[in-house]
Amino acid sequence: MATQHSRAAARTMISPAVILLLGWMLIPLGLTIYFSFLRYNLLMPGANPFVGFENYAYFFTDPAFWPAVINTLLLVGGVLLITIVGGVLLALLLDQPIWGRGIVRILVIAPFFVMPTVSALVWKNMFFHPVNGLFGQLAKGLGFEPFDFLAQAPLASIILIVSWQWLPFATLILLTALQSLDSEQLEAAEMDGAGALSRFRHIALPHLARAITVVILIQTIFLLSVFAEILVTTNGGPGNASTNLTYLIYAQSLLQFDVGLGSAGGVFAILLANIVAFFLMRMIGKNLDL
């Protein structure tokens, strides 16, 4: 059906998008790689000599590097654990008959629509603040010492904030997957005397496995880049206690103006994200029949 003519028209229609995305990908990417081989600091204008892998050597031996890697892993892993386990439980609950289910769903999904800077500030001041925050007041009311969350457990506090933002996403996707589950199969299992737990383990969980994988991959892509929540709450501190890779590279690039070093970090971040992206793309590709 597709004639030569329509093929040519199709190519014309698609080319603006392709050219723009190609430029958006190649130009900054090429520049990042190029800068990463230069000694290039905005505070020291002048020649930017080629220095080979010097920036990479600095980046990987920076005392802040390993803490940032570990913080990134803890942040991604912690949020994934909370949102997946919480999301499965919530999805199972919301799949039950509930009076006012529509409103319950709306309330549960709401945090996903709150912009990151707002959720970070609200949690920081109105909940985590040791004196005026709600948690502090609650502790005082119960006779406990107030706990300064962001000073004493900065990373855990940020994990809590980010989990609150992403739990709705996991829940919504898992709920969608759960609702496509064949109810006859469940009823048959129930007739055969399978308990709720074994129905979950042998029917619901395998059915959800695919959706869980998708949630893990998509969230990982976004969680590797958590930034605003850290900037607004702790600025990566105290010390490096809540600095993840994204924040570290941001600090090197735009706070210390070390373009070369920041670019080397950027290349590392791209490689890291690509590992996750590879698996995600494979899953999406398998589902796309053309």
When the beta carbons of 81 and 134 are compared against other proteins, the nearer one is 134
> In the bound complex, what is the minimum distance in angstroms from residue 61's beta carbon to other proteins?
20
Q: Give the one residue of 44, 81, 209, 254 binding other proteins; rule: CB under 8 A.
A: 254
Q: How far is CA 251 from CA 123, 147, 164, 254, 265, in A?
A: 23, 28, 26, 6, 11
Q: Per-residue x/- marks for other proteins, 152-191, CB under 8 A?
A: ------------x--xxx--xx--xx--x-----------
Site for other proteins in 70-109 (CB under 8 A): 90, 93-94, 96-101, 103-109
Residue 128 lies near other proteins (rule: CB under 8 A): no
**225 C-beta neighbours (distance < 10 Å), count:** 15
Residue 54 burial (CB < 10 Å; 0-12/13-18/19+)? middle
When the beta carbons of 51 and 221 are compared against other proteins, the nearer one is 221
169-182 burial, b at 16+ Cβ within 10 Å, e below that, comes to: bbbbbbbebbeeee
> In the bound complex, what is the minimum distance in angstroms from residue 259's beta carbon to other proteins?
5
Residue 199 lies near other proteins (rule: CB under 8 A): no
Instruction: Please give the single-letter amino acid code of residue 33.
Output: I
Q: Residue 114 gets which letter from DSSP? A: S
Backbone angles phi, psi at 253, to 5 degrees: -80, -55
Structure tokens at 189: 């299992």
Residue 113 lies near other proteins (rule: CB under 8 A): yes
Residue 207 lies near other proteins (rule: CB under 8 A): no
Q: Give the one residue of 56, 127, 128, 149 binding other proteins; rule: CB under 8 A.
A: 127
Instruction: Name, in order, each residue with C-beta under 8 angstroms of 243's C-beta and a sequence gap of 6 or more.
Output: 64, 67, 68, 71, 230, 236, 237, 251
Instruction: Please give the single-letter amino acid code of residue 270.
Output: I
Of 92, 88, 91, 163, nearest to 123 by C-alpha is: 163
> In the bound complex, what is the minimum distance in angstroms from residue 81's beta carbon to other proteins?
17
User: Which secondary structure element, helix H or strand E, spans residue 290, and what is its range?
Assistant: none
Look at the block and give the residue holding tokens 């010390």: 239
Residue 279 lies near other proteins (rule: CB under 8 A): no
Residue 281 lies near other proteins (rule: CB under 8 A): yes
> In the bound complex, what is the minimum distance in angstroms from residue 185's beta carbon to other proteins?
17
> In the bound complex, what is the minimum distance in angstroms from residue 7's beta carbon to other proteins?
6
When the beta carbons of 6 and 198 are compared against other proteins, the nearer one is 6
Instruction: Answer for the pair 124, 116: CB distance below 8 angstroms, yes or no.
Output: no
Instruction: Please give the single-letter amino acid code of residue 32.
Output: T
Binding-site size for other proteins (CB under 8 A) equals 107
> In the bound complex, what is the minimum distance in angstroms from residue 262's beta carbon to other proteins?
5
Site for other proteins in 2-31 (CB under 8 A): 2, 6-7, 9-11, 13-14, 16-18, 20-21, 24-25, 27-29, 31
When the beta carbons of 80 and 90 are compared against other proteins, the nearer one is 90
When the beta carbons of 28 and 52 are compared against other proteins, the nearer one is 28
